[in-house]
């Protein structure tokens, strides 16, 4: 594939803009600068650099972000900045979208991709992909509340009980809660249904993929091939 086309497919702008980047000597492969936009490049396993930053060539872009509080999972946020502002421009230009949504005050693991089928597979409530949250509550937890969360609670807008896939009390005000459906404000509404209130919410895993411990709030990274395969066959934790 022509080098200029590779850059364009990876979100670096129009073909004219990509030709300019290449002509300015800002694109390299294996440490060798390529100044001809028409260079034919093998794309399998390709990693190129723009201004010294590595970019793996892939049909789809899928990344993980450690979402900090105060960002909305929307291209058109209403009250806070968009979480997409935490990603570099080429990824935004490719059209990556959050996989599901986290509330502005919720932190932790957020996947973003331009792979529509993968997004649907992970976000669809019918697939029951496990999502694991660390919950901090306002009031002390007790065995009755934990039991009701495990057995199922009725939310005010749905007569069908919703049960936690797993619920582990970690302390007087802390629990690890696993849900499969991902309804709007689901964790907060489940805790409200048992007479408590969520004070802080942090997602630590989706489909068995755990937030990398070395990824600081606001940081992102590409998913590896092995991680993508894991997510393509998501299971419950």
pLDDT tens per residue across span 16-55: 999 999 999 999 999 999 999 999 999 999 999 999 999 9
- Candidate list 36, 39, 103, 142, residue with the active-site label: 103
Nearest residue to 97 (alpha-carbon basis) of 81, 116, 78: 116
Q: Are strands 107-113 and 198-206 parallel, antiparallel or unpaired?
A: parallel
CATH of 130-206, one of 3.40.50.300, 3.40.50.11540, 3.30.70.1560, 3.90.1300.10: 3.30.70.1560
CA 41 distance to own-chain centroid:
30
pTM: 0.88
For residue 192, CA distances in Å to 45, 56, 89, 155, 198 come to: 48, 44, 39, 9, 8
The pLDDT-based confidence of 80 (bands split at 50, 70, 90) is: confident
* Environment class of 20 (CB within 10 Å of its CB; exposed 0-12, middle 13-18, buried 19+): middle
CATH architecture of 62-120+214-232: 2-Layer Sandwich (3.30)
Q: Where are the domains of the chain?
A: 3-56, 62-120+214-232, 130-206
The pLDDT-based confidence of 175 (bands split at 50, 70, 90) is: very high
Query: How much is the average pLDDT of 190-208?
Result: 95
Q: Which residues make Cβ contacts (< 8 Å) with residue 153, sequence separation at least 6?
A: 161, 162, 163, 190, 193, 194
User: 3-class DSSP state for residue 6?
Assistant: helix
pLDDT for the residue 235: 47
Contact (Cβ atoms closer than 8 angstroms) between residue 138 and residue 148:
no
Backbone angles phi, psi at 103, to 5 degrees: -60, 160
For residue 202, CA distances in Å to 54, 109, 173 come to: 30, 8, 14
For domain 3-56, the CATH superfamily is RNA-binding S4 domain (3.10.290.10)
Retrieve residue 151's tokens.
């057995």
Greatest CA span in the chain, whole angstroms?
68
Find the angle CA(159)-CA(164)-CA(165) to the nearest 5 degrees. Answer: 125
> Is the pLDDT score of 158 beyond 80?
no
Same fold, 3-56 and 130-206: no
Please indicate whether residue 37 or residue 208 has the higher confidence score (pLDDT). 37
Tell me whether residue 39 is one of the annotated catalytic residues. Answer: no
Per-residue 3-state assignment (H helix, E strand, C coil) for 95-147: CCEECCCCCCCCEEEEEEECCHHHHHHHHCHHHCCCEEEEEEECCCCCHHHHH
């Amino acid at each position: 594939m022509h080098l200029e086309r590779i850059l364009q497919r990876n979100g670096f702008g129009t073909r004219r803009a990509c030709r300019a980047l290449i002509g300015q000597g800002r694109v390299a492969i294996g440490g060798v600068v390529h100044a001809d936009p028409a260079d034919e490049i093998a794309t399998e396993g390709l990693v190129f650099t723009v201004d010294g930053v590595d970019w793996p060539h892939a049909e789809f872009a899928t990344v993980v972000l450690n979402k900090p509080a105060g960002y909305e999972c929307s291209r058109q946020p209403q009250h806070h900045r968009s979480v997409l502002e935490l990603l570099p421009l080429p990824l935004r230009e490719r059209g990556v979208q959050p996989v599901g949504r986290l509330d502005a005050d919720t932190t932790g693991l957020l996947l973003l991709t331009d792979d529509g089928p993968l997004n649907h597979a992970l976000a669809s409530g019918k697939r029951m992909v496990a999502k694991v949250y660390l919950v901090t509550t306002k009031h002390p937890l007790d065995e009755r509340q934990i039991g009701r969360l495990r057995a199922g609670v009725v939310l005010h807008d749905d007569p069908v009980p919703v049960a936690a896939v797993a619920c582990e009390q970690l302390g007087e005000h802390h629990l690890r809660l696993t849900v499969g459906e991902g309804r709007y404000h689901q964790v907060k509404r489940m805790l409200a249904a048992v007479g408590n209130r969520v004070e802080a919410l942090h997602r630590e895993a989706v489909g068995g993929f755990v937030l990398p411990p070395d990824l600081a709030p606001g940081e992102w990274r590409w998913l590896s091939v092995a991680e993508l395969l894991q997510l393509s066959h998501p299971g419950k934790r």
